[in-house]
Amino acid sequence: MNNKERILTAASQTLLEKGLEGLSVRAISHKAGLSTIAIYSHFKGKQGVLDALYIEGFGLVRDAMLSTADIKDPVEAIMASSQKYLDIALDNEGHYRLIFGETGGSYVPSTEAVEASREAFEVLVRGVTRLLPGDASRAKRQRAALRVWAVLHGYVSLRHHVIGPMLDYRQWHAMAMEALSLTVAEISGHV
């Protein structure tokens, strides 16, 4: 792992442990075992680290959705990319909490970071569009994509904040996929 990766890993872990208010260049450098100068030279400070985590987090989401683009059946593709999304949300919890504002604090993403979130959403819109009639309006496609994302994000948030200790991963995952399946069936007109 190179220094840049060590810094981002340390920042993600620190976010989980201390929240955004507890994240500082000093805390990151301590956890990464590097000097504060290393953080400033790679990221220009806390804002740069946060932007890098944000961009990386939405990149993971985007890549999960792109990874199933070659699946011909649109329902199967959405379900497969959604499974990957759930795994990413659990495997990269610090990133996930940052990109969805669950870390507290007042982080404002840079223009580049906001663009990364927009790109991830557009990939989802393209995938969900395959479920809809060809003449579906842009607004309808976006609403359908938001419904899919809301179901996924809702279950991830519940896992992070409420039901984590109550359900094991398999139960939580099955519940999330069942809810998503119903949403996808409704969107695609199979209900």
How many domains does the chain fold into?
Answer: 1
Whether 89 is covered by a domain: the verdict is yes
Whether 20 is covered by a domain: the verdict is no
DSSP calls for 54-85: HHHHHHHHHHHHHTTTT-SSHHHHHHHHHHHH
Position 164 scores a pLDDT of 58
Which pair of tokens denotes residue 40? 């400033």
Burial tier of 145 (Cβ tally within 10 Å: 0-12, 13-18, 19+):
buried
Whether 69 is covered by a domain: the verdict is yes
Given a cut of 90, is residue 19 above it in pLDDT?
no
- For residues 56 and 8, is the Cβ–Cβ distance under 8 A? yes
Better-scored residue on pLDDT, 191 or 18: 18
Position 158 scores a pLDDT of 83
Tens of pLDDT, residues 88-121: 988 998 888 888 877 666 889 999 999 999 999 9
Alpha helices in the chain (DSSP H): 3-18, 25-32, 36-43, 46-66, 74-91, 93-99, 111-129, 138-158, 169-187
Domain enclosing residue 123, as ranges: 51-187
DSSP calls for 30-51: HHHTS-HHHHHHHHSSHHHHHH
Given a cut of 90, is residue 189 above it in pLDDT?
no
Whether 45 is covered by a domain: the verdict is no
Place 20 in a pLDDT band, splitting at 50, 70 and 90. confident
φ and ψ at residue 101, rounded to 5 degrees: 70, 25
**What is the SS3 assignment for 118?**
helix
Whether 171 is covered by a domain: the verdict is yes
Place 138 in a pLDDT band, splitting at 50, 70 and 90. very high
Which pair of tokens denotes residue 89? 């949300």
Whether 31 is covered by a domain: the verdict is no
Position 147 scores a pLDDT of 95
Tens of pLDDT, residues 31-77: 999 999 999 999 999 999 999 999 999 999 999 989 998 999 999 99
Distances in Å between the Cα of 86 and the Cα atoms of 73, 132, 154, 158, 176 are: 20, 23, 11, 12, 9
Whether 38 is covered by a domain: the verdict is no
- For residues 16 and 104, is the Cβ–Cβ distance under 8 A? no
pTM score, whole prediction: 0.88
Whether 68 is covered by a domain: the verdict is yes
Tens of pLDDT, residues 155-188: 888 887 766 567 676 788 898 999 999 999 999 9
Look up the CATH number of the domain holding residue 167: 1.10.357.10
Compute the radius of gyration of the chain from its Cα atoms: 18
Position 162 scores a pLDDT of 65
Position 13 scores a pLDDT of 93
